[in-house]
Structure 1
Amino acid sequence: MSGAAKKAILAGLGWTSLRLRLVVVFGMVALIAAVSASGIAYWLNREAVLTRTQDAALGDFRQQMQNRVASLPARPTQSELQTAAEQMAAGTAGYSVLLLGEREAGKPIVGASDPDAFTLDDVPAELRKAVGDQEHLFWVRTQRGNTPYLVAGTRIVGGGPTGYLFKSLDQERQDLNSLAWSLGIATALALAGSALLAQAAATTVLKPVQRLGQAARQLGEGKLDTRLQVSGTDELAELSRTFNNAAESLEKKVADMSAREESSRRFVADMSHELRTPLTALTAVTEVLEDEQEGLDPMVAPAVALVVSETRRLNDLVENLMEVTRFDAGTARLVLDDVDVADQVTACIDARAWLDAVDLDAERGIMARLDPRRLDVILANLIGNALKHGGSPVRVSVRTETGEEGGTGDEAEDELVIEVRDHGPGIPEDVLPHVFDRFYKASASRPRSEGSGLGLSIAMENALIHGGGITAANSTDGDGGAVFVLRLPRDASDITADGRGLAGRERDGERGEAGDAP
């Protein structure tokens, strides 16, 4: 069974609960302690009860053998043995007696206090052998049926009858069973008490932990003003104070970062706005200079061409910065319209005079409801980036895919997929993770390129605002080149600026160098 399956089973059984585990641990400790104490107490009491009963019976039996049996003749009669056995058993010790003697050599006689209760067959063979070999008192504990018995035997020193004792230990067994029940009840009470104690301890310990967990969740949800009420001086109180200090520090840092970010966005927006006025004048001047460029002095013409080129580049940069600030401020909105995707892609390519360099594979009639202007920005950046860094021919294919597995028919084709592929050297592996990063340049040796490094970043933002996304990778079919795949929902009516996270900001995936749309 896998670790995940075990965790799922334990979670289903509730074993992941700290409260339950604490109760179980307390219960196990109490159970082990109670069982150990009860077992030791039972064993000590058992030995004490049996030893006391045994010593009393054996002592009385020894005394009776010395007083009554020793006074019998060396070869007593059956009647004398019977009388002596009955007299020995009549005492307060409560045992049966069996006396074994001889009328003549090899002719044994037996006298029993209760022949129905105790016979020579009830004496274990090993005990009879021990008594026959030595003149000492020997005893064993045996069992007949379900009743335990004490059996003992001895011989008269110097010759004479042999005596055996047979005493029931049933009363002692009943007393020990009562003791065992009492100890079992005490163990159960100890276990129940430990469970209640564990519950109380868990409540005392876990309530602050639960409050801490809830506060941490609220903090993770962005409620940075969350604080815990601190009472006491124990470790949990110190943990709560540490949490409050961390939350306060985090709130302050986030506020500072938000203020700096807002200030930075405002600065970029203000700067871009302020640059537009002089740029408008510069653009007008550069257009005049460009028209007169053929009649200029050959020494001046290159400088004029450079000014025209850099002015246009600066103008594109300012427009891109304005677009970025709108995305960062959350003010970018979709203006939706029903468009034929093939016509839209064709218009984008034709407007930039790329018809000869782009191979388009798109069927007419694929309709989508999206923002045409933003789709044009995305396509211009992807195709322009492919032409600039991959070279022609660039292949653009348009298709639809099923959003849910198993869907059939036109209604299931709810995702628009546009693939832009070039046949260049591809994107270096160390560059892939950064192609959609702002201002990222794949080569440090050419920091001043025609692009600003914002084109693919803006393309990604426009895809995200539609609820889609863009991925970048290298072709694996052997022809080489980079492959950018744009995925958009065919109907973005339910997508708003706040819903940009539907596609996820997967900016740590496949990337390439960021270019700018012409």
Structure 2
Amino acid sequence: MSRLRFTSLRLRLVVVFALVALTAAVSASGIAYWLNREAVLTRTQDAVLRDFQQEMQNRAGALPVHPSQDQLQHTAGQMAGSSQRFSVLLVGQDPTGRTVYGNSGGLSGFALEDVPGSLRAAVDKRQPLSAANKSPYHLYWQRVTEHGTPYLVAGTRLVGGGPTGYMLKSLEPEAKDLNSLAWSLGIATGLALIGAALLAQAAATTVLKPVHRLGVAARRLGEGRLDTRLRVSGTDELADLSRTFNNAAEALEKRVADMAARDDASRRFVADMSHELRTPLTAITAVTEVLEEELDSESGGIDPMIEPAVRLVVSETRRLNDLVENLMEVTRFDAGTARLVLDDVDLADQITACIDARAWLDAVELDAERGLHARLDPRRLDVILANLIGNALKHGGSPVRVSVREADDEIVIEVRDHGPGIPEDVLPHVFDRFYKASASRPRSEGSGLGLSIALNNAHIHGGDITAANSPGGGAVFTLRLPRDASALTEQDEGAGGSTGGDGDGDGTGGRDEGTGRDKDTGRGKGTRRGKDTKGGAR
């Protein structure tokens, strides 16, 4: 099982579930905490204020208008002994007009400085009487925090004269209760988050397991295992997706089987047709060679009136023979029966022999160092070179320059001409079979298979051929081959025997497949016949 990544659907499902759960839990916990906090504080506050107001009316109201300090002190102590246990500060004026204070906690207890100034101003302010306001003084309260501890401070003044009373109540017990509640809600939020993550993991496993199986099946189908099917269970959307995949795989398997059958039938037809044409072509070729000798004889045995027709028959017979040879070579590549017969090759000598055999010495410039060796199939290398050089001579014109260099463990051979180059729309198709650059000229000397055969011969060596236009004008074909192709072929006697038959194949004799090499190169026919193998790609 692959590691979870942030881009994986499983992780995204878990994160989404966790975020939703976290948002819901935090929202619910926040609302619950706020409601409980207000309820606790309001309940405590109302009880304390009600008790303080009652004590002010009962005990402070019993004091004279101008009490002494001892009276204030005694009354403050009595008021602080109520059930709510708050601190009391009484402020009044004695008979001499001096301000006196009574504190329930003694000298170190609640002092006037502990009361916020805004609260004192509100307590001392006389309110105008009206139908809605029947008392000039009211009870005011405020919550404050000192040194991290919350307090409730309240104050009121007796109507009709008498001391002013202030109360201080610590809310620390309530704050502790609220902190405990916050911790509980936090723990509940964490547990909800963990539960959501586990639920998301379970849901993701339930949902993604069929998706994972579908992905594995799709990869196997892409690898060519067309019999891959999914086990379908249930009636949900994933089950419908699995059924759709199975139907698509079944249709694809049937289609591929039909196409493979048609392709095999086509290859067999081409191969059988090529073999069947070999016998009559051998006889026709023998006759045309006799006619050609009569044409070239000094006795002039052919009637001048029919001489053009005889030459046309000879030319078309050669062209048909080359086409059959090329078709047989193509069928071997398609069937996968083409094999390499390796040998140590001196590249300069091999290229020189290829050029000389086709009477191209005057039209080709060779730039190759002597002594540069490679282990390749000489016959297939000759096919490649003949097609590339012949194509350059046919479409680019002479001089054609062939250069050879060594790059790492590769041999690079460039064939460059000085023609107009290859049109940009033709470049991607120069190696296609039977491709013609001009649709108006479907018939040409070549079969349209030469460059395709050259490319296949390069591939069987583990190399490649590329086509491009030179910046200075003209086309350049670059052939890259490994220095040693031994890794691509078996070196035992059985492999050697089986590959040896591939070179001539079914009575080809001394003719090179794909090149159309003529044994009578001294009369210049080799050049023309070498061109016959080129496709009309340019």
| Aligned equivalent of 2:45, options 43, 50, 54 | 54
Deviation at 1:517, TM superposition (A): 3.5
**Residue correspondences, number:** 479
Is contact 1:454-1:516 (8 Å) kept?
A: no
Residue matched to 1:192: 194
Amino acid at match of 1:86: G
Where structure 1 has 5 or more consecutive residues not aligned to the other structure, the ranges are 1-10, 403-413, 498-513
Q: Secondary structure at the match of 2:59?
A: helix
Q: Secondary structure at the match of 2:64?
A: coil
Q: Does 1:390 align with 2:415?
A: no
Give the whole-Å Cα distance in 1 for the aligned partners of 2:238 and 2:291. Answer: 76
Give the whole-Å Cα distance in 2 for the aligned partners of 1:46 and 1:496. Answer: 85
Q: Secondary structure at the match of 1:19?
A: helix
* C-alpha distance after superposition, 1:177-232 (max 9, x if no partner): 11111111111111111111111111111111111111111111111000000000
* C-alpha distance after superposition, 1:410-466 (max 9, x if no partner): xxxx21111100001111111000000000011122211100100000000000000
* C-alpha distance after superposition, 1:137-161 (max 9, x if no partner): 1111112222111000011112221
Is contact 2:67-2:95 (8 Å) kept?
A: no
Q: How does 1:159-308 map to 2 (within 5 A)?
A: 159-293=161-295, 294-308=300-314
Q: Does 1:128 align with 2:130?
A: no
Is contact 1:386-1:420 (8 Å) kept?
A: yes
Residue matched to 1:469: 464
Is contact 1:456-1:516 (8 Å) kept?
A: no
Deviation at 1:25, TM superposition (A): 1.5
Give the whole-Å Cα distance in 2 for the aligned partners of 1:156 and 1:93. Answer: 21
Residue matched to 1:362: 368
Give the whole-Å Cα distance in 2 for the aligned partners of 1:37 and 1:360. Answer: 87
Deviation at 1:247, TM superposition (A): 0.6
Give the whole-Å Cα distance in 1 for the aligned partners of 2:334 and 2:31. Answer: 76
Q: Secondary structure at the match of 2:62?
A: coil
Give the whole-Å Cα distance in 1 for the aligned partners of 2:148 and 2:387. Answer: 97
Give the whole-Å Cα distance in 1 for the aligned partners of 2:54 and 2:147. Answer: 30
Deviation at 1:22, TM superposition (A): 1.5
Deviation at 1:42, TM superposition (A): 0.6
The change in CA–CA distance for 1:516 and 1:491 in structure 2 (over 3 A counts) is: farther
Give the whole-Å Cα distance in 2 for the aligned partners of 1:58 and 1:515. Answer: 116
Give the whole-Å Cα distance in 2 for the aligned partners of 1:127 and 1:77. Answer: 25
Deviation at 1:13, TM superposition (A): 7.8
Deviation at 1:106, TM superposition (A): 5.0
Residue matched to 1:144: 146
* C-alpha distance after superposition, 1:459-517 (max 9, x if no partner): 000000000010000101x2x110001000010001149xxxxxxxxxxxxxxxx9744
Is contact 1:70-1:160 (8 Å) kept?
A: yes
TM-score (structure 1 length as normaliser): 0.90
Q: Which moved more, 1:328-337 or 1:62-71?
A: 62-71
Give the whole-Å Cα distance in 2 for the aligned partners of 1:30 and 1:106. Answer: 67
Give the whole-Å Cα distance in 2 for the aligned partners of 1:12 and 1:129. Answer: 69
TM-score (structure 2 length as normaliser): 0.87
Residue matched to 1:494: 487
Give the whole-Å Cα distance in 2 for the aligned partners of 1:437 and 1:106. Answer: 121
| Aligned equivalent of 2:406, options 396, 400, 408 | 400
Residue matched to 1:502: none
Give the whole-Å Cα distance in 2 for the aligned partners of 1:22 and 1:396. Answer: 63
Give the whole-Å Cα distance in 1 for the aligned partners of 2:342 and 2:165. Answer: 117
Amino acid at match of 2:418: H
Give the whole-Å Cα distance in 1 for the aligned partners of 2:59 and 2:3. Answer: 77
Q: Does 1:19 align with 2:13?
A: no
Give the whole-Å Cα distance in 1 for the aligned partners of 2:17 and 2:81. Answer: 55
| Aligned equivalent of 2:440, options 445, 457, 464 | 445
Is contact 2:448-2:533 (8 Å) kept?
A: no
Give the whole-Å Cα distance in 2 for the aligned partners of 1:337 and 1:482. Answer: 30
Q: Secondary structure at the match of 1:292?
A: helix
Give the whole-Å Cα distance in 1 for the aligned partners of 2:531 and 2:78. Answer: 122
Residue matched to 2:94: 103
Residue matched to 1:428: 423
* C-alpha distance after superposition, 1:74-118 (max 9, x if no partner): 111222212221121111011111110001475211111113231
Give the whole-Å Cα distance in 2 for the aligned partners of 1:27 and 1:13. Answer: 16
| Aligned equivalent of 2:410, options 412, 415, 421 | 415
Q: Which moved more, 1:19-28 or 1:230-239?
A: 19-28
Is contact 2:466-2:479 (8 Å) kept?
A: yes
Q: Secondary structure at the match of 2:488?
A: coil
Q: Secondary structure at the match of 1:276?
A: helix
Residue matched to 1:113: 104
Q: Secondary structure at the match of 1:338?
A: strand
Give the whole-Å Cα distance in 1 for the aligned partners of 2:207 and 2:172. Answer: 51
Residue matched to 2:478: 485
* C-alpha distance after superposition, 1:327-377 (max 9, x if no partner): 000000001111111100000000000000001111110111111000000
Deviation at 1:55, TM superposition (A): 0.4
Is contact 1:381-1:516 (8 Å) kept?
A: no
| Aligned equivalent of 2:451, options 438, 456, 462 | 456
Q: Secondary structure at the match of 1:295?
A: coil
Residue matched to 1:326: 332
Give the whole-Å Cα distance in 1 for the aligned partners of 2:468 and 2:117. Answer: 94
Q: Secondary structure at the match of 2:304?
A: coil
Q: Secondary structure at the match of 2:331?
A: helix
Q: Does 1:372 align with 2:367?
A: no
Deviation at 1:250, TM superposition (A): 0.7
Give the whole-Å Cα distance in 1 for the aligned partners of 2:29 and 2:461. Answer: 73
Is contact 2:464-2:480 (8 Å) kept?
A: yes
Is contact 2:396-2:475 (8 Å) kept?
A: yes
Q: How does 1:76-95 map to 2 (within 5 A)?
A: 76-95=67-86
| Aligned equivalent of 1:42, options 27, 33, 36 | 33
Give the whole-Å Cα distance in 1 for the aligned partners of 2:3 and 2:99. Answer: 77
Give the whole-Å Cα distance in 2 for the aligned partners of 1:19 and 1:143. Answer: 49
For CA contacts below 8 A with separation 6 or more, give which structure has more relative contact order. Answer: 2
Deviation at 1:16, TM superposition (A): 2.3
Amino acid at match of 1:122: D
Q: Secondary structure at the match of 2:370?
A: coil
